Every structure is written in structure tokens, then in C-alpha cells.
Amino acid sequence: MSLIEIFLLGLALSADAFAVSIAAGICSKEVRAFDKLKMSAFFGFFQGIMPVIGWFAGFLFLAYIKAFDHWIAMGLLSFIGIKMIIESRKPDDCKTFCYFDLRPLLVMAVATSIDALAAGLSILILDVEIYYPAVLIAVTTFVISLVGVNIGKRAGRRLGQSAELVGGIVLILIGLKILADGLM
């Protein structure tokens, strides 16, 4: 696997984290630098560790992981999205869901990185050591997530009160896309 191939894999795996980061920026009233770094670190860490887990799990769990990973990711993202939509209906504006609290951050990081388990298995099949790709995937996701939060924060100023509704719909659509890709 070349450096370019690993980087492209990292970009592909970070797409969901990027979209969730944008939603977080849109729907968060105040986003401190620490919050941006924390979200990016969570997403980067899980995107980096999941291929390692998948690589070590090897062929033993391939059928089990592939059979339902898309359902788990869709369920977790839809749960968060539905919660955001419900919250958007409250009189308060788009600032009731806290993306940067530990529990939602953990759920989002796991949900957006489940596909990286399969990537780890693919790397194993290619007979490539996992550590270098895992680090590059983690760093790529960290940077992409950081960019996403900043993009979302700028867009959020323009979207106003409907941003949480939009963010919830986006998360559900991401979950459905993951499910559709997994069913194909």
C-alpha cells in the first residue's frame, strides 16, 4: 500500500466524521478551541484504533462485523439525529444538544469509525503492517474533523434556529447512507 493509497483511505474513512463535525459546528452556540480539538482527537483516535482492532481480529470476525456494522452505525447516528430533531422543536434555539460532552462524543466517534474495522481487515488481506496506516488515518481524520467543525461554525451563524434540525437530518442521512452502502 502506497502513501497515497493510505491517505485516500484515510480521507474516505474520515468523511462521516467530517459531516458530523460540520453538524457540531452548526448546532453549537459556543465552540471553544478545546472543544474543536477534543472532538477531532476523539474522531482521529477511533478512526486510528478501529483498523488496528480489525487487523488483529483478522478473518475470524470478518463475517460478523460485515454482517451488521452498517446497522450499528445507522442506529447510533439516527438516535443522535432524532434527538437533535426533537430538541430543535423546543422553544430554545439550536443550542440544546451538546456535541462536546463525553457521552455523545463517544457515541459519534464509535458510530463514524465502525467502517474502519473493515478497513483494518482489508489491510490485513493486503499483507500490510497496520501501524503506519492507522497513524495516517488517525491524523487525516483529526485534521478533517477540525476543518469540519470550523466550516460548520461559520455556516451556523447563517442558518440560525433551524441549524439543529438540519444537523439532525444530516446525521440521519449519514446513517442511512452507511446502511445503504452496507446492504449493497
Quick one: average pLDDT of 9-16?
A: 85
Q: Quote the CA–CA distance of 136 and 32 in Å, as a whole number.
A: 26
Q: Identify which has the larger pLDDT, 54 or 39.
A: 39
pLDDT value at residue 114 = 84
Q: Identify which has the larger pLDDT, 174 or 113.
A: 113
pLDDT value at residue 167 = 67
51-82 b/e (C-beta count within 10 Å ≥ 16 → b): bbbbbebeeeebeebeeebbebbbebbbebbe
Q: Quote the CA–CA distance of 117 and 98 in Å, as a whole number.
A: 27
pLDDT in tens, 116-127: 887 887 788 777
Enclosing H/E stretch for 163? helix 163-183
pLDDT value at residue 43 = 97
Quick one: average pLDDT of 21-46?
A: 91
**Residue 21 pLDDT more than 50?**
yes
pLDDT in tens, 160-171: 446 567 767 877
pLDDT category of residue 183 using cuts at 50, 70 and 90: confident
pLDDT value at residue 86 = 78
pLDDT value at residue 161 = 46
Q: Identify which has the larger pLDDT, 151 or 98.
A: 151
Q: Could you tell me the residue ranges of all domains in the chain?
A: 3-72+99-158
Pair 77, 71: CB distance under 8 Å: no
